[in-house]
C-alpha cells in the first residue's frame, strides 16, 4: 500500500509545476504546453486510480 | 427554445414520478435510494452534484479575467479529490451499512456516542449549505430571464425551485440520483457542442487561441493578467478541493448510497477522466472571447455571450438548458441532503418530517429571492463567502473518527469550533495568511486543536 501512496504523493508534487510559471509558449495545437502537461497529469491520475482499484483496493465481503 | 425548456422540465418531473413509484416510504429507500446506486448512477450523481452553475458559467468567467490557470486549479484539485472516494467513501459506506447511518452527523456523533457532536456537525453543514441553496434559486431566475427577457427573475426562480421541490418530494434520493444522470448527460453534451461550434465559427481552435494570444498573452501563463495564480494560491486550491468537496453534505451522504465498493471504485476512476476534458471547454471559451474583440461587461456571462454569437440558435438553447441542468442538479442534491440531515439528526428517521422540511427550505429560498436579499451582504453574504472554509474544517474530525483511535469527542468539538472561529474571525478581521487561502489556515488550526484536545482527553472521555 505504501507504494501506492508514494505514487499519489509524487503525482501531487508534479501538479505544483512551479517550473512552468511565467511561461506561455510553445503553444501546441490550441493550448500552451503546460496545459497539456496538466491534461496528461489528470489522465495519469485516472489511470493510477484504475490500477489502484484493481490491484490494491480489496473489497470486504 | 421554450419547447426545449418545457421538455426538459417535463422529463425531470416524469423521472420524479417514476422514482416515486419505485420508492417505498421507508427511510433507507427515501433518503438513500436503499443504498443501491450502481457504478454509473453513483458516478453521474457525484459529478452532476459537484459541478454547479459555477462550473458551467463561472469557470469561463474566471478564465476570461484571470486566464487559463483556472483549468489547472480546478481540474487537478477536483481530480485528486476522487482519492477521497477510497479514503473516506469506502469507510463511510461500510460503517453506514453496518450501523444504518443516514447522515454525516450520525456517523461522527455515533462513533463517540455524543449527541452534541452529532448536532454540531448537522448545524455546521446546514449553516453553510442553506444560503448556497438560496443563491442557486437566484441563479436559476437569471438563467430563465435569458430565455424570457420579459419574465421577472423572481418568477423564474420560484418556478425552478418549485420543480426541484416537486421531484425531490416525489422520489427522494432515487429522484435526485436519476435526474442527476439525465442532467449530467445534458451538461456534458451542451459543453461539448458549445466548444466545437464556437471553435468552428472562430476558424478553428488553433486560430481562436492565436487571436486571443495576440490580444493578451498573459492569459496563457500563470500567474495570469491580474497576478491571481500564485504558487501559494495554486497549492491552497488543490488542498481545499481535496479536503472540502467530500464535506459537502450532498457528497458525503452519497457515499452511503453506493450499492457496493465497485460503485465507489468506478466513480474514483471516471471522475478525473471526465474532468480532464470537461473543464477544458469553458476555460478555453472564456479566454477565446478576448480574441473576438467583444466587450464583456459581466465575466460570468461570457460563455453564454460566446454561444449566442458563435453557434446556431438551437445550440444556444441547448446550452441554456445545460446551465440550468448544472444548477438544478446541485440544488436538488443540496435540498435533499439538508432536509435529510435536519430531519434525521433533529427528529429521527421520519420521511414525512423530511418532506415538510424540504418544503420549508424551498419556501425559505423563494422568500430569499422574492424579498430581494443580497447574497453579497449581511450574515448570509458572510456564510456564502465562507462556505468552502466553513465546511473544510469538518475534515479533520471526519478523518480522525475513521482512522485515529486516540481521537476523542472533545478533540473533534474543539477542532470544529476552533476552525470555524478562525473562519469567521478572518471574515470580519482579515489577518495575514502569507499568500495562502484563509481556509488553509483554518484547516491547519483545526488539525492542531484536534490533536491537542484528543491527546489531552484520551482515556477520560472514551
Q: B228-286: per-residue pLDDT in tens?
A: 999 999 999 999 999 999 999 999 999 999 999 999 999 999 999 999 999 999 999 99
Residue B365: its pLDDT value, please?
87
Q: In sequence order, what are the residues at sequence separation of 6 or more whose Cβ sits closer than 8 angstroms to the Cβ of residue B129?
A: B248, B249, B250, B334, B337, B338, B387, B391
Please report residues of A whose CB lies closer than 8 A to that of B199: 30
Spatial separation of the C-alpha atoms in residues B108 and B124, rounded to whole Å: 13
User: How distant, in Å, are the alpha carbons of A33, B195, B424 from that of B70?
Assistant: 15, 17, 27
Residue pair B424/B386 in contact (Cβ under 8 Å)? The answer is: yes
Average pLDDT over residues B412-420: 97
Please report residues of A whose CB lies closer than 8 A to that of B76: 15, 38, 41-42
Please report residues of A whose CB lies closer than 8 A to that of B288: none
CATH placement of domain B2-377 = 1.20.1730.10
- Mean predicted lDDT score pLDDT of chain A: 94
Q: What is the dihedral of CA B408, B413, B415, B419, to 10 degrees?
A: 170
Query: What cell numbers appear for A10 in the block?
Result: 509524487
Query: What cell numbers appear for B318 in the block?
Result: 441547448
Q: B163-213: per-residue pLDDT in tens?
A: 999 999 999 999 999 999 999 999 999 999 999 999 999 999 999 999 999
C-alpha triplet B299, B302, B305: angle, nearest 5°: 140
* Residue B77: Cβ-neighbour burial (10 angstroms; 0-12, 13-18, 19+): buried
As for the ipTM of the complex, it is 0.96
Evaluate if residue A61 carries a pLDDT over 70.
no
pTM: 0.94
Residue B110: its pLDDT value, please?
96
Helices (H), B222-350: 231-244, 249-255, 261-278, 280-292, 302-310, 313-346
Please report residues of B whose CB lies closer than 8 A to that of A30: 199, 205-206, 208-209, 284
Helices B438-457 and B409-428, packing angle to 10 deg: 150
Domain residue ranges of chain B, discontinuous segments joined by +: 2-377, 393-462
Q: B46-63: per-residue pLDDT in tens?
A: 999 998 887 878 889 999
Evaluate if residue B379 carries a pLDDT over 70.
no
Spatial separation of the C-alpha atoms in residues B154 and B174, rounded to whole Å: 29
Residue A29 and residue B79: Cβ atoms within 8 Å?
A: no
* Min distance A61 CA to chain B CA atoms (Å): 10
Residue found by looking up cell 463511510 in the block: B92
Q: Lowest-pLDDT range, A35-44, B375-384, B387-396? A: B375-384
Residue B384: its pLDDT value, please?
64
C-alpha triplet B193, B195, B196: angle, nearest 5°: 70
Spatial separation of the C-alpha atoms in residues B416 and B393, rounded to whole Å: 6
Spatial separation of the C-alpha atoms in residues B217 and B244, rounded to whole Å: 33
Interface test with B, best of A6, A15, A47, A59 (most B CBs within 10 A): A15
Residue pair B172/B352 in contact (Cβ under 8 Å)? The answer is: no
Q: B112-152: per-residue pLDDT in tens?
A: 999 999 999 999 999 999 888 888 888 888 888 888 888 88
Interface test with A, best of B79, B91, B262, B286 (most A CBs within 10 A): B79
Residues 264-283 of chain B whose Cβ lies under 8 A from any Cβ of chain A: 265, 268-273, 275-277, 280
Amino acid at each position: 500500500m505504501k507504494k501506492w501512496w508514494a505514487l499519489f504523493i509524487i503525482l501531487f508534487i508534479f501538479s505544483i509545476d512551479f517550473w512552468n510559471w511565467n511561461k506561455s509558449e510553445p503553444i501546441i495545437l490550441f493550448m500552451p504546453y503546460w496545459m497539456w502537461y496538466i491534461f496528461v497529469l489528470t489522465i495519469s491520475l485516472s489511470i493510477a486510480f484504475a490500477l489502484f482499484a484493481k490491484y490494491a483496493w480489496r473489497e470486504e465481503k | 427554445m421554450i419547447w426545449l425548456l418545457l421538455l426538459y422540465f417535463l422529463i425531470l418531473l416524469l423521472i420524479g414520478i417514476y422514482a416515486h413509484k419505485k420508492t417505498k416510504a421507508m427511510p433507507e429507500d427515501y433518503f438513500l435510494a436503499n443504498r443501491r446506486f450502481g457504478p454509473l448512477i453513483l458516478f453521474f450523481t457525484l459529478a452532476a452534484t459537484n459541478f454547479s452553475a459555477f462550473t458551467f458559467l463561472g469557470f469561463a468567467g474566471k478564465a476570461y479575467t484571470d486566464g487559463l490557470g483556472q483549468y489547472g486549479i480546478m481540474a487537478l484539485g477536483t481530480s485528486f479529490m476522487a482519492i477521497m472516494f477510497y479514503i473516506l467513501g469506502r469507510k463511510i459506506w461500510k460503517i453506514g451499512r453496518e450501523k444504518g447511518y443516514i447522515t454525516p452527523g450520525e456517523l461522527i456523533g455515533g462513533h463517540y456516542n455524543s449527541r452534541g457532536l452529532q448536532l454540531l456537525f448537522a448545524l455546521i453543514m446546514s449553516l453553510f449549505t442553506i444560503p448556497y441553496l438560496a443563491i442557486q434559486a437566484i441563479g436559476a431566475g437569471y438563467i430563465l430571464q435569458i430565455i424570457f427577457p420579459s419574465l421577472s427573475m423572481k418568477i423564474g426562480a420560484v418556478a425552478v425551485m418549485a420543480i426541484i421541490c416537486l421531484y425531490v418530494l416525489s422520489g427522494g434520493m432515487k429522484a435526485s440520483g436519476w435526474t442527476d444522470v439525465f442532467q449530467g448527460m445534458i451538461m456534458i453534451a451542451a459543453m461539448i457542442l458549445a466548444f466545437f461550434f464556437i471553435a468552428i465559427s472562430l476558424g478553428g481552435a488553433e486560430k481562436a487561441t492565436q487571436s486571443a494570444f495576440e490580444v493578451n498573452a498573459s492569459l496563457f501563463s500563470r500567474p495570469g493578467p491580474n497576478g491571481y495564480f500564485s504558487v501559494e494560491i495554486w497549492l491552497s486550491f488543490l488542498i481545499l478541493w481535496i479536503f472540502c468537496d467530500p464535506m459537502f453534505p450532498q457528497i458525503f451522504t452519497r457515499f452511503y448510497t453506493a450499492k457496493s465498493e465497485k460503485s465507489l471504485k468506478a466513480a474514483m476512476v471516471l471522475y478525473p477522466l471526465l474532468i480532464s476534458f470537461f473543464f477544458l471547454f469553458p476555460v478555453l471559451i472564456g479566454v477565446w472571447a478576448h480574441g473576438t474583440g467583444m466587450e464583456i461587461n459581466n465575466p460570468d456571462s461570457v460563455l453564454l455571450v460566446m454561444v449566442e454569437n458563435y453557434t446556431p440558435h438551437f445550440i444556444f438553447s441547448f446550452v441554456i438548458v445545460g446551465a440550468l441542468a448544472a444548477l438544478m442538479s446541485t440544488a436538488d442534491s443540496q435540498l435533499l441532503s439538508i432536509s435529510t440531515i435536519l430531519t434525521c439528526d433533529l427528529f429521527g428517521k421520519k420521511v414525512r418530517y423530511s418532506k415538510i422540511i424540504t418544503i420549508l427550505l424551498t419556501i425559505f429560498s423563494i422568500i430569499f429571492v422574492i424579498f430581494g436579499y443580497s447574497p453579497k451582504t449581511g450574515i448570509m453574504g458572510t456564510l456564502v463567502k465562507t462556505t468552502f472554509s466553513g465546511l473544510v474544517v469538518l475534515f479533520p474530525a471526519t478523518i480522525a473518527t475513521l482512522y485515529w483511535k486516540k481521537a476523542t469527542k472533545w478533540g473533534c468539538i474543539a477542532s470544529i469550533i476552533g476552525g470555524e472561529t478562525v473562519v469567521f474571525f478572518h471574515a470580519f478581521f482579515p489577518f495575514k495568511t502569507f499568500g495562502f487561502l484563509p481556509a488553509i489556515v483554518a484547516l491547519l488550526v483545526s488539525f492542531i486543536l484536534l490533536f491537542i484536545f484528543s491527546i489531552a482527553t484520551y482515556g477520560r472521555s472514551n
